Structure 1
């Protein structure tokens, strides 16, 4: 099943690449600042949280004396979360947004979630490169542990793709899913140690936070950039396994319901 879908997508690679370019150009057409807007949204969040929480949180980042530590901690978490949330948010509505295209043209529908992921990846690459540049300029660039970002990012992307496809298909049949996702992401954000370190939480709530599949992923990013530590691979296995399961379920659900989706759009 997966191999057949991969071959179909590869045969339409020109369509996928063209769609990614077109969407990126359309998003910033007639915009004075262009792609700068990709940076301003997470940057504004980082500034607000840093100003509000830095004095409260700085002393509570264990084992860190660097004055920029909390800002780096925030950047690592918010940028990673923003990438995840963009894939989920766009994927849950991608089939509805392209209803006319689906009805008029014959092409592998699975290309649409792939286009979403590639667009999110372009946006993430832009701001992540600037973040790395900031670390270089301020002499806070991590050592070889930076390579740990690659497997963590792959797990996170697979997790987001699987969950996004499932939500996208369900949203075609149950339109309340789209409303629920926006609310759920807000709660999920605050249940993930992004603005605060998990070490300040009461013992009673820590098991709830640790059951969050995004917790080990975000913690891995923060460990790399704040502490120059390699990810704790054993902690990432549950999230990696969940990502594989969600991808398998998402592809199965998509294949089973793709024909019915056309009638519901």
Structure 2
């Protein structure tokens, strides 16, 4: 493990350069350039706020704040977006960079690290604007906001373990990527993001909590909507699953790293 960390550190210039090039390439031929990184998420936040808090007058059960549902929705959609981006791109990263893998010699794990770094840059911009909205609207959750750090770290860990596992399998079985793309859409709607768990029948809630992403989404919504610390005990199963997936991903990668280049 220490050897792997040293190898990644030795190639930090390659990782940072790749992240920078991808960010710049998005807006290379655009008149507004990097301004789109602010305008796109800003437009999304405005739409969610105006439509769901003003036009539709949607309310969360037990919440009297007119922005409560908008914050509930953004808390789920933005963090789900981070998860989906990491997993979706990680499962294709070895295939998408096949030419690079064949021509250059570098630690293969640089590729998932680049995926995570790019996703975090995109998420940081969007969530920074969302945080500004919380401050301006008087809905900032206070000290509970700090709980986002460990819960987001857990989400990234879970996404990396799942994404790299799928990425290795996808090299040998291309149906894996196609199937997971469909499954991800169903997974979104089976996770309490657009709706609240509290509106579901009691017998259904137990099954919803078997979904690890449901536990994470509830944590973000508890922090950002209610301004409270999440129930840490509810996240232990997610932590265990994330660790198991990371171990599985590492074992699969080490065992098949050489074979992957031949398959690509």
TM class by smaller structure: over 0.9
TM-score (norm 1): 0.93
Q: Does the CA contact (< 8 Å) of 2:49 and 2:67 recur in 1?
A: no
Structure 1 moving runs of 4+ over 6 Å: 52-57
Output the CA distance in 2 between the equivalents of 1:50 and 1:171. Answer: 41
Q: What are the residue-to-residue correspondences of 1:39-78 with 2, within 5 Å?
A: 40=40, 43-44=43-44, 47=47, 51=51, 58-59=58-59, 61-78=60-77
Output the CA distance in 1 between the equivalents of 2:183 and 2:74. Answer: 22
Q: Does the CA contact (< 8 Å) of 1:172 and 1:264 recur in 2?
A: yes
Counterpart residue number, 1:135: 134
Counterpart residue number, 2:215: 216
Instruction: Extract unaligned runs of 5+ from structure 2.
Output: none
Q: Does the residue aligned with 2:202 lie in a helix, a strand or coil?
A: coil
Q: Does the CA contact (< 8 Å) of 1:46 and 1:78 recur in 2?
A: no
Output the CA distance in 1 between the equivalents of 2:52 and 2:65. Answer: 18
Counterpart residue number, 2:252: 253
Cα gap change, 1:35 to 1:241, in 2 (>3 Å): farther
Q: Does the alignment pair 1:203 with 2:189?
A: no
Q: Does the residue aligned with 2:228 lie in a helix, a strand or coil?
A: coil
| 1:151-204 superposed Cα distances (whole Å, 9 cap, x missing partner) | 100100000010010011111001111111211110110011000001111233
Q: Does the CA contact (< 8 Å) of 2:144 and 2:223 recur in 1?
A: yes
Q: Does the CA contact (< 8 Å) of 2:161 and 2:248 recur in 1?
A: yes
How large is the Cα RMSD of the aligned pairs? 2.0
Q: Does the CA contact (< 8 Å) of 1:146 and 1:225 recur in 2?
A: yes
Counterpart residue number, 1:194: 193
Q: Does the CA contact (< 8 Å) of 2:52 and 2:69 recur in 1?
A: no
Counterpart residue number, 1:181: 180
Counterpart residue number, 1:101: 100
Q: How many residues were matched structurally?
A: 263
Cα gap change, 1:49 to 1:192, in 2 (>3 Å): farther
Counterpart residue number, 2:33: 34
